[in-house]
Amino acid sequence: MTPNELLILVGVIAAIRLILAIPAIATVSQGHARVLAREYLDPFIIAGLAAWLLITFVARTYYIPSASMVPTLQVGDVLLVDKFEYHFHAPHEGDIVVFPPPLPSPDDFIKRVIGLPGDTIAIRNGIVYRNGRALVEPYIAARPEYDLRIANYDIDVNDGGGWMPLDRSEANIPPPSQWTAPNRIPPHCFLMLGDNRNDSEDSHIWGFAQDAGRFASGPRKGKPAGFTGRAFVIFWPPPQARILHG
């Protein structure tokens, strides 16, 4: 249930509660109705409003619909996502983040933060290099079967057919004026990859995610960008339950 759907449900129940509270000819049945309202509807309204505040501003659940984060996250896992943390600081390297992608989608995406604003990023021979340092990634399903580089104000990918820059009509790549250097991730931009590198629709396909502003290019150019929150715990199913670490 979305926050808006929950709020509508609470509103309907509050309207019923108001109707039951309207003075009318006193009858035994009306007395029973008022007792019912006090004992059952009032607590539900209070709990519903508390839940709405919680999932709107603090945390909410997220269902994993695809295998892009295997083996860390399995299809069907249910997570808790902290919506509060990124009001105080930007995502860190390794965070597992839920966010609206820069391409049309009815759902948020979930990926791992690999590159931060100002970083250099390259993928060579299946190894990711951040600021020249090879990352140790025990969480991935397999090494990526493509190479990647950030250069000349672009993201270039080589999947065996030679180097090709991402198409700005299909990917979010800011114009050169928004970069601080031609080979460093621009401000407010993040390079996101799935742990299932070879079966993940991520930054090597659609460019940068953003923590603020509006998407600079691609199918959602001009639409608001941002991060929904950080996934911090799997709570369902029980055998998979654990705290998620970067």
Tell me the CB-side half-sphere exposure of residue 173, using CA atoms within 13 A: 23
Q: Is 111 designated active site?
A: yes
Average confidence score pLDDT of the chain: 84
pLDDT higher than 50, residue 183: yes
| 29, 66, 83, 111: the active-site residue | 111
Interval 51-105: pLDDT, tens: 444 444 446 888 999 999 999 999 999 998 988 889 888 999 999 999 999 999 9
| 29, 66, 68, 221: the active-site residue | 68
Interval 205-224: pLDDT, tens: 999 999 999 999 999 999 99
Which pLDDT does position 116 carry in this prediction? 98
Question: Which of the listed ranges 52-66, 142-156, 229-243 does the model predict with the highest average pLDDT?
Answer: 142-156
> How far is residue 3's CA from residue 196's CA, in Å, rounded to a whole number?
30
pLDDT above 70 covers a percentage of the chain that reads 76
DSSP string, 190-204: EEEE-SSGGG--SHH
Which pLDDT does position 11 carry in this prediction? 54
- According to DSSP, the residues that pair with 158 across neighbouring strands are 147
Token pair 């965070």 in the structure block, residue:
95
Q: Is 68 designated active site?
A: yes
The closest of 52, 48, 16 to 34, measured between CA atoms, is 16
* H-state helical runs in the chain: 3-21, 28-36, 42-57, 203-206
> How far is residue 104's CA from residue 7's CA, in Å, rounded to a whole number?
26
Q: Which 8-state DSSP code applies to residue 153?
A: T
Question: Which of the listed ranges 17-26, 38-47, 147-156 does the model predict with the highest average pLDDT?
Answer: 147-156
What is the value of pTM for the model shown? 0.78
Q: The tokens of 180 are what?
A: 């601080």
Which pLDDT does position 49 carry in this prediction? 45
Structural contact between residues 187 and 211, judged by C-beta atoms closer than 8 angstroms: no
**pLDDT higher at 46 or 236:** 236
Q: Which 8-state DSSP code applies to residue 214?
A: B
Least confident stretch, 28-37, 137-146, 154-163, 231-240: 28-37
Which pLDDT does position 88 carry in this prediction? 87
> How far is residue 220's CA from residue 169's CA, in Å, rounded to a whole number?
9
Q: Is the dihedral of CA 51, 95, 228, 111 positive or negative?
A: negative
